[in-house]
Amino acid sequence: MTSADASERIIIEDQTETIHSIDELRSPLLPPRRPRRVIGKAAALAATLALILLLLLVAGLGLLPSACCGTSRSRHRPRSSPPVPVELTLLAAAHDRGAVCLDGSPPGYHLQTGSGAGSRSWLIHLEGGGWCDTALLTGCSAGGLATLLHCNDFRARFPQEVSVKCLPDAGFFLNVKDISGQRSMRSVYSGVVHLQNATAVLPKDCLLANKDPTECFFPAEIVKSMRTPTFVLNSAYDSWQVQNVVAPDTSSPDEPWRRCRADIRSCNSSQIQVLNGFRKAMVDGLEAVEDNKNCSWFIDSCFTHCQAWFDNSPWNSPVAPRLGNKTLVEAVGDWYFGRSQSQVVREIGCEYPCNPTCNSHQLPA
């Protein structure tokens, strides 16, 4: 990202280990300690971030490394020195709203001020404002699920003239049976929904249809109520879900399945058929909302998890996976800037292993 186009960036961080003092919340990756701010309850932005963070914790699927922003032009430039880490700001008053980390400690966020053309734009990334011109809510894995859950509410916090969009990455978790015939992911989500009393953030349309709240926690139900432009990014052979939804440890996978779930190239034909069934469930879940013009998607067949980590991923490189002769960054650009002839951008890849552009990205990070 060039300095002239820099947007406000917020990365929301969760601290899950036991904390005995506020000073222990400082990231070990930061340089020697500088004075930091602890924001009180009067900050409206803090309240907004606290609410978003709460769902990230509710998702309960773990956080992935922080992301930073980049442009397609940056790939042609030599790497410069590492950027200076952005200071952590703690939300001391978040406890009053019930928005705390898993150990009860205050949540926090990293905020970098935008400049130039990006000074009035925001990008909020969930790691799993006031007056703006544009706002993009994004996150991967658990953050991707939180992005879906909060997208409509996020839109409601901005004036109508502000362009607000959402990009959930690798957050389209499926309610499918594992290889033992059990719905292990549904069991996990049921515990989360009832333990955290998450009914208030679930889609009202789903609850009014008298569906179980746990079912309403899955993205296939959430997208049915999407009223904000959303770009669903996911692999149809999501490596995390293959390992934890299709063949989790609780399903007692045998050695062939352990090899398959670790490396899709080790799967035999019968195992590939099982994974194709997983792919079909994902595609069916999206195509069920094809009449909703707020929903766009990019579903490839690469064995990976979280593909939009900006500078930390191949999504913006010459060898990036392609669908419909478009790289992911090109498809996202067409969606975000309205460059597509149609209102939506929808790309779904064929069954594994038909996409040769996935060859260098088969193994999970």
Q: Any idea which residues carry the catalytic annotation?
A: 141, 238, 305
| Residue 218 near residue 227 (C-beta atoms within 8 A) | no
DSSP-assigned beta bridge partners for residue 140: 127, 169
Cα gap 24→28, rounded to integer Å? 9
Beta-carbon-side half-sphere exposure of residue 143 (alpha carbons within 13 Å): 27
Q: Residues with Cβ < 8 Å from 359, sequence gap 6 or more?
A: none
| Other residues' Cβ atoms within 10 Å of the Cβ of residue 216 | 25
DSSP-assigned beta bridge partners for residue 347: 298
Burial class of residue 134 (count of CB atoms within 10 Å of its CB; 0-12, 13-18, 19+): middle
Cα gap 140→145, rounded to integer Å? 8
- Tell me whether strands 134-140 and 121-127 are parallel, antiparallel or unpaired: parallel
Q: Which of 234, 262, 250, 239 is nearest to 179 (CA)?
A: 250
- At residue 60's C-alpha, the angle toward residues 146 and 255, to 5°, is 120
Q: Which of 102, 203, 195 is nearest to 150 (CA)?
A: 203
Query: What single string gives the DSSP state of each residue in 233-290?
Result: EEETT-HHHIIIIIS-GGG---HHHHHHHH-GGG--HHHHHHHHHHHHHHHHHHHTTT
Decide: helix, strand or coil at residue 150.
helix
Q: Is 210 left (phi over 0), alpha (psi -120 to 50) or beta?
A: left
